Structure 1
Amino acid sequence: MRLMLSVCCGIIFGLIVGISLPSSSLTKLNITSSIVSNFPIARDRNNVVSDQKPADPSIKIQNATDQLKIWVPSNPRGAERLPPGIVASESDYYPRRLWGKPSEDLQSKPKYLVTFTVGIKQKHNIDAAVKKFSDDFTILLFHYDGKTTEWDEFEWSKKAIHVSVRKQTKWWYAKRFLHPDIVAPYDYIFIWDEDLGVEHFDAKEYIKLVKKHGLEISQPGLDPRRGTTWQMTKRRGDREVHTTTEEKPGWCADPHLPPCAAFVEIMAPVFSRDAWRCVWYMIQNDLVHGWGLDFALRKCVDPAHKKIGVVDAQWIVHQGLPSLGNEGEAKDGKAPWKGVRDRCRKEWTMFQSRVANAEKAYFKSIGVDPSNLTSH
């Protein structure tokens, strides 16, 4: 009895001491967690220590704020902090009204885009060309002479998109104003010069033939009577489309490579949406005249010798008017156009070197000796 009484008194005394001591005392007494855990009353410090300060509310707020932060790595670069539902990676050239419901702005959405790089001297030629394109085309004019209001005499010009920067070429404009995410709504993009005769051309029929033959990059055939340079781009009168040709001896190392196949000239190219996305990335350098680009277009479609071609049934005339060439600078007794031509040749050499070096660097990076590769 005496022993049992002593044990009960000890337990009661221990409980009283445990309740009266602050939680910090347990730490000071170095009581192990295993011993403390044996006392149910000691597990819940909020119950055991009545004078302990409540948790800092700012910590809970901070935790809640962290949970509400948005970070989506799959969003476009720079937009990771936005919810995916608000991210729009593409836009368009469709004009909007300044009034009314936004949802009612667009009565129609053109499926194709045609661009011309123009000067006012060729306005009547461009007027004739634009009239060959239906309302299913957005018209975009790049003005290299700074004159835009002079085009208002044409009714279609009031609906067209006008971009004006002096003394620039169409590839300079294309790099800056034809981003693939901006022209994404268009199935095909025409990037044309201003000196093209279109008497025998119809844009609707052209699109039909391009789709029928599966061409990703194309151009209308050129009138063979008007000083064409390449056999490939000359119009043939016995077919709708051609994708190969025979050139002068020694000009084609491979019948599937330019200029015997997989080749169109840069004066009047037409690109599918997907092909243009590739070409746009390829031209992001100091190339502005585009010389040499026509030999590299094949890198953007596969198989190029089947998906790059010339539409013979819809043909044009290259008039060869040196309007933009005259925007050059007369220097050392040379005419302005000669300086422009020299720049064209330099660009061609630079572009060829750039492409070749980039390909060599790539193959070396994956452990392939470029010298063992054949042309492709």
Structure 2
Amino acid sequence: MVLTKMGNPFRGGSIRKPNEAMRLIVTTFVGVIFGFFLGVSFPTLSLTKLNLPSSLFPSIDLTYIEDKYSGLSTNSLLNALSSLKGRRSSSSGSYMLNDTQIWVPTNPPGAERLPPGIVVSESDFYLRRLWGLPDEDLTIKPQYLVTFTVGYDQKKNIDAAIKKFSENFTIVLFHYDGRTSEWDEFEWSKRAIHVSIQKQTKWWYAKRFLHPDIVAAYDYIFIWDEDLGVEHFDSEEYIKLVRKHGLEISQPGLEPNNGLTWQMTKRRGNSEVHKDTEEKPGWCTDPHLPPCAAFVEIMATVFSRDAWRCVWHMIQNDLVHGWGLDFALRKCVEPAHEKIGVVDAQWIVHQSVPSLGNQGKADNGRAPWEGVRERCRREWTMFQERMASAETAYYQAMGVDPPNSTAR
């Protein structure tokens, strides 16, 4: 009896031990397999999607860690967590330390990676020396800019015009005929900026070389044609009158009997400045709209720095003659009928020399200027259509009705 009772438990114990051993082996194997797959998949897990308590990783940007260490092993990741603790700045994040990048959203587009203190977003046409100290380069910093689009055949006229502009003006000549070296016969040519691309218009040049950030140093920008008589014009006196009357966009008055198209630009002998006029019946839908007000022509336009920044953006890259711009300039200042005007006391003569027209191409028996004039008219229509479509789309997107005041 005793042997029997003692044998049963012994046999039962010998049976259970192999089962437990097998269970332990299976459990261990499953655990190894699970651990392997967990280890392989762990780097792809998103730390930012795990609801980890903030006390576990204080002051640590998990998004930053995930991006920087996504390809590392678990060990390295844990080491990175501990090493980064305390290194991260608790500031807004505009600056990152050590091997991380700077990102400053308030910098000009494209310069966000630079520290703000090194950013120079604006420029000028000031000529610099190749020697000495930069702050000693300039004996005077011109406040104004004047540009002429020229051909060498008009050299005498341009020489006379430039002599009317003081040393307070930077001079830029855009050469549409490719002839630049001949201008060296004039002393002032040595301090002028010469840009030469053949058979282009002044608005083509303006769009490419007069970006607002490039001409930001100048209070006023004169963008003039080459066929202007300036016997009765003084640049400094003109600026004084523009400032006095608060004009953001202006032009000198035109001598009444020469090259006159619009009554608005006709010089008045009894005033310093005028800002409105009377035109032919039916030409003005509103006395505050072009061509009765808020209007100057594009032959001898003068822009303030702020007005030019707007106008430059309005100039179409592919429409080179500028026809139609004069009717749209009012969109860049407010109120336009008060800030756009004609300076009567400083007046010019439009000589109407069709020099640029002769740069066209003769075609089908037509003279070169005919094709140029045809494109001018076509561009005017295209510009009007683009402006109307853009404004309509804007007001529709805003869910409001467009205003009823439209110019011719």
TM-score (norm 1): 0.83
Quote the residue 2:97 is aligned against. Answer: 67
1:106 partner amino acid: L
Alignment of 1:264-283 (within 5 A): 264-283=296-315
Q: Answer yes or no: is 1:83 the counterpart of 2:115.
A: yes
Quote the residue 1:260 is aligned against. Answer: 292
Quote the residue 1:237 is aligned against. Answer: 269
Within 2, Cα distance between the matches of 1:105 and 1:124? 31
SS where residue 140 of structure 2 aligns?
coil
Quote the residue 2:64 is aligned against. Answer: none
Instruction: Single out whichever of 221-230 and 112-121 deviates more from structure 2.
Output: 221-230
Alignment of 1:1-376 (within 5 A): 56=79, 60=83, 67-68=97-98, 69-370=101-402, 373-375=403-405
Within 1, Cα distance between the matches of 2:175 and 2:107? 35
Offset from partner CA, 1:292-345 (integer Å, 9 cap, x none): 110000000011111100000000000000111000000011000000000000
Moved over 3 A (4+): 55-68
Offset from partner CA, 1:130-189 (integer Å, 9 cap, x none): 000000000000000001000000000000000000000000000000000010110000
Unaligned runs of 5+ in 1: 1-27, 29-51
Within 1, Cα distance between the matches of 2:110 and 2:316? 21
Within 2, Cα distance between the matches of 1:215 and 1:57? 62
Aligned residues: 324
Within 1, Cα distance between the matches of 2:303 and 2:133? 34
1:197 partner amino acid: G
SS where residue 142 of structure 1 aligns?
strand
Contact 2:259 2:349 in 1 (8 A): no
SS where residue 314 of structure 1 aligns?
strand
Within 2, Cα distance between the matches of 1:62 and 1:90? 40
Instruction: Report the CA distance shift for 1:359/1:57 in structure 2 as closer, same or farther (over 3 A).
Output: closer
Within 1, Cα distance between the matches of 2:319 and 2:330? 17
Offset from partner CA, 1:327-371 (integer Å, 9 cap, x none): 00000110000000000000000000000000000000110133x
Within 1, Cα distance between the matches of 2:86 and 2:389? 52
- Taking only the aligned residue pairs, the percentage that are identical comes to 76
Within 2, Cα distance between the matches of 1:110 and 1:100? 20
TM-score (norm 2): 0.76
SS where residue 149 of structure 2 aligns?
strand
Contact 2:259 2:351 in 1 (8 A): no
Quote the residue 1:46 is aligned against. Answer: none
Offset from partner CA, 1:269-305 (integer Å, 9 cap, x none): 0000000000000003322101111000000001111
Deviation at 1:105, TM superposition (A): 1.0
The CA RMSD over aligned residues, in Å, is 2.1
Unaligned runs of 5+ in 2: 1-34, 36-74, 89-95
Quote the residue 1:16 is aligned against. Answer: none
SS where residue 385 of structure 2 aligns?
helix
2:405 partner amino acid: S
SS where residue 300 of structure 2 aligns?
coil
Within 2, Cα distance between the matches of 1:143 and 1:227? 23
Within 2, Cα distance between the matches of 1:265 and 1:89? 31
